[in-house]
Structure 1
Amino acid sequence: MNINRIIWIVLDSVGIGEARDAAKFGDEGADTLGHTAEANGGLNIPNMVKLGIGNIDGAHNLERCDNPIGCFGKMAEVSAGKDTTIGHWEMAGIYSPDPFPVYPDGFPDCIIDEFIKKTGIPGILCNKPASGTQIIAQLGDEHVATGKPIVYTSGDSVFQIACHEDVVPVERLYEMCETARHILTGKNAVARVIARPFVGENGNYKRTPNRRDFSLKPSEDNILCRVCDKGLDVIGVGKIHDIFAGVGLTESKHTNDNQDGMDVTLDYMKQDNKGIIYTNLVEFDSTWGHRRDYKGYARGLEEFDVRLSQVLDTMKDTDMLVITADHGCDPTYKGTDHTREYVPLLVYGKCLKRGVNLGTGDTYADIAQTLAEIFGTEPVKIGKSFLNKIM
């Protein structure tokens, strides 16, 4: 039986233990899944257990399954980064040997001056690495009083702009981000410009779901473009459109949170499409990982696991489910940044073998190479297909 459709779900930041090169990134000992389970006295995730999450080599504090119905493994990252963009690009078959630029001391005057001039704003606030929730609490009142956007970065390659929706309308904020995206090129080509709208008053501010990411355009030498060129559907759910700047997608839909992401994914699964449904569930990273909220992280995993049962029930005989992640963000670890980790790989389909240990892949692009073989496209440049192991 042929596989006609891939349901590809990325649990944003759900790593499964320090990568072999974690020391280069200062991330020795990180383990997003293992430490989250340990800190909460275990995780109630029976559907992922059934697929084999606890059977992955080196998994800690996760329940094993005697007869898993899925195939399971983990993958290392070869690209020079540990952020969302590089992770997703690599799993689509794009190798990024050079890291995107980061700004631990804030952005240079030449960038900020040009940004102010081209947007016509009265100036900016902040211009340093910061926690998004903390910086709007600190500077929100001044922003409301002056109209100056809050511009900040993080350990990632990002240029973030936070504005109150009543002070700067969301569409105007998006225009500012487009302007910044055009400025940030060459040696200053950050991976993402991010719109961070918020609401509230008097120091009590809350970010809204109207976030938008303005990413660099990836190479078209990737599995999404290959599958699209075959005349098949490539549907992005959540941040996927932003991460790939729309490249290689036939359709996409932004989502507000993980639950919305699962609703949209299930809606697409019930439609008559063939190709790829590619979903990013961002809350693990943005809401719990960076906030170092290990209780929320555990709750999010358990909530996803409940929805996973609906995915399994909705799958057609010719569907294949792939669950993975794009990096780690250990909520028990020091700092607030991503962590360089292996990512889990769970694969399931009614026409696939069960209980196969896929071991450790050398690159996230093993997924892309497997999809290239499934859909009969030209192979991507990196990665090794695991199709022969699971069929």
Structure 2
Amino acid sequence: MTKRVFIIVLDSVGIGEMPDAANYGDAGSHTLKACYDTGKLHVPNLQKLGLFNIEGIGCGEKAAAPLAAFARMREASAGKDTTIGHWEIAGIISPKPLPTYPNGFPADVMDEFERKTGCKAICNKPYSGTQVLLDYGEEHVKTGDLIVYTSADSVFQIAAHEDIVPVEKLYEYCQIARDMLVGEHGVGRIIARPFVGSYPDYKRTSNRHDFSLAPPAHTFLDSLQDAGLATIGVGKIYDIFAGKGISSTQRTTSNDDGMAKTLAHAKEDFTGLCFVNLVDFDMVYGHRNNVEGYTDALNRFDVQLGELLPLMCDDDVLMITADHGCDPVTPSTDHSREHTPLLVYGKQIKAGTDLGTRSTFADIGVTAADLLGVKAKTDGQSLVPLITK
């Protein structure tokens, strides 16, 4: 019996276009290969686990004797965003994408938001999170008007300077938006985007907070919690699931901080799940088309992975995956419709098991639950019969 399962989501580390990528404007996307092609990718621990042995990955050196079971994961849901990706990992396949707003939010939505908050809103367009501060930050500081913007994802983002709008007040405004935006306009996330500094050197802070839709169905997290097991969230996991099925949570300020907290949990005695999201790959590098930074972040993660592996006990299992792509060398700065990797490592796992291409991310959550002795009532097929000794 497995005592602890660690799932680490390398946010946006896709491994090549899905068959329908062209429908999303993402033909040819391959986030990992973009980093590999810099010539600076150095991930020996991921390589030893079998990352480059995954079917169709098309880059890197295969391990002669991979230490993990490995698979290429195909998203069954319609979408390529964080919420849909994580929900599918947890066992919910979403046949309909969450709403997006390429022309900004409708006037009636904005009118209601301004009425309920008592604040005027400016921008209301899809925008880069850093560029929007350059273009609207000064006006916000002078007037106190809230910067509202979106992206190719299903998000309603509110940016405000911490000296103009205190963080807790910004959170209140986000909660107002969350309560409004349901049903037809039920966006995946309302995101608080506080920033500091003076023009043109505005800088977003780590006080970001996501207000997500509650998952529309039972997840493997609910199954684990119902069974009395720990469900620890690290990073924005709590936000993505609106707290549903999460027994404890820790916010993080960076990938390094997320891994530091994961290493600390690995030294603790608990029974259940530690579910980790490392968002810098996506937020700091992918969306900014910074392939050098993305590559460096993968290299840094690999070093920390080398610190985590020796902390795995005989009855632990580690699962490493992703939720979508965000190719940093394509013209787009948005997410990309890509396959994701899955590496499953532990003393009880049959090393070198090639699982091919799986038809849904949902196999991950149901497998984690099965390893912990819980039958999750979700979509997905358990890989336990294929990967355990």
- TM-score scaled by length of structure 1: 0.98
SS in 2 for 1:248: coil
Measure the CA separation in 2 of the matches of 1:222 and 1:90: 9
SS in 2 for 1:267: helix
How far residue 376 of structure 1 moved from its aligned partner, in angstroms, is 3.1
Please, which of 143, 146, 166 is the counterpart of residue 146 of structure 1? 143
In structure 2, the residue matched to 1:37 is 36
In structure 2, the residue matched to 1:55 is 53
**What amino acid maps onto 2:109 in structure 1?**
I
The aligned runs of 1:160-309 (5 Å cut-off) are 160-309=157-306
**What amino acid maps onto 1:278 in structure 2?**
F
In structure 2, the residue matched to 1:83 is 81
1:320 aligns with 2:303: no
The aligned runs of 1:119-158 (5 Å cut-off) are 119-121=117-119, 123-158=120-155
SS in 1 for 2:99: coil
**What amino acid maps onto 2:117 in structure 1?**
T
Please, which of 343, 354, 358 is the counterpart of residue 351 of structure 2? 354
**What amino acid maps onto 2:138 in structure 1?**
D
**What amino acid maps onto 2:149 in structure 1?**
Y
Deviation digits for residues 309-352 of structure 1 (CA, Å, limit 9, x no counterpart): 11101111110000000000000112111000000001100222
Whether the 8 Å CA contact 2:321–2:343 is kept in 1: the answer is yes
Identity of aligned residues (%): 53
Measure the CA separation in 2 of the matches of 1:195 and 1:373: 36
The aligned runs of 1:104-123 (5 Å cut-off) are 104-121=102-119, 123=120
1:4 aligns with 2:42: no
Unaligned runs of 5+ in 2: none
Measure the CA separation in 2 of the matches of 1:22 and 1:190: 22
Deviation digits for residues 212-268 of structure 1 (CA, Å, limit 9, x no counterpart): 000000135110000011100000000000000000011011100100000111111
Measure the CA separation in 2 of the matches of 1:323 and 1:224: 17
Measure the CA separation in 2 of the matches of 1:63 and 1:259: 26
Whether the 8 Å CA contact 1:220–1:248 is kept in 2: the answer is no
Measure the CA separation in 1 of the matches of 2:192 and 2:280: 16
Whether the 8 Å CA contact 1:372–1:380 is kept in 2: the answer is no
How far residue 389 of structure 1 moved from its aligned partner, in angstroms, is 1.6
Measure the CA separation in 2 of the matches of 1:28 and 1:12: 20
Whether the 8 Å CA contact 2:9–2:278 is kept in 1: the answer is yes
**What amino acid maps onto 2:262 in structure 1?**
T
How far residue 374 of structure 1 moved from its aligned partner, in angstroms, is 1.9
**What amino acid maps onto 1:44 in structure 2?**
H
**What amino acid maps onto 2:251 in structure 1?**
H
Structure 1 stretch 344-353 or stretch 321-330: which is displaced more?
344-353
In structure 2, the residue matched to 1:337 is 334
In structure 1, the residue matched to 2:362 is 365
Whether the 8 Å CA contact 2:220–2:378 is kept in 1: the answer is no
How far residue 381 of structure 1 moved from its aligned partner, in angstroms, is 3.4
- TM-score scaled by length of structure 2: 0.98
Structure 1 stretch 168-177 or stretch 112-121: which is displaced more?
112-121
How far residue 42 of structure 1 moved from its aligned partner, in angstroms, is 4.5
Structure 1 stretch 213-222 or stretch 45-54: which is displaced more?
213-222
- Work out the number of aligned pairs and report it: 388
Structure 1 stretch 250-259 or stretch 378-387: which is displaced more?
378-387
Measure the CA separation in 2 of the matches of 1:176 and 1:167: 14
Measure the CA separation in 2 of the matches of 1:214 and 1:231: 26
Unaligned runs of 5+ in 1: none
SS in 1 for 2:187: coil
SS in 1 for 2:36: helix
Measure the CA separation in 2 of the matches of 1:78 and 1:110: 33
Measure the CA separation in 2 of the matches of 1:376 and 1:318: 12
Measure the CA separation in 2 of the matches of 1:35 and 1:294: 7
**What amino acid maps onto 1:71 in structure 2?**
A
Measure the CA separation in 1 of the matches of 2:263 and 2:39: 31
Measure the CA separation in 1 of the matches of 2:281 and 2:60: 18
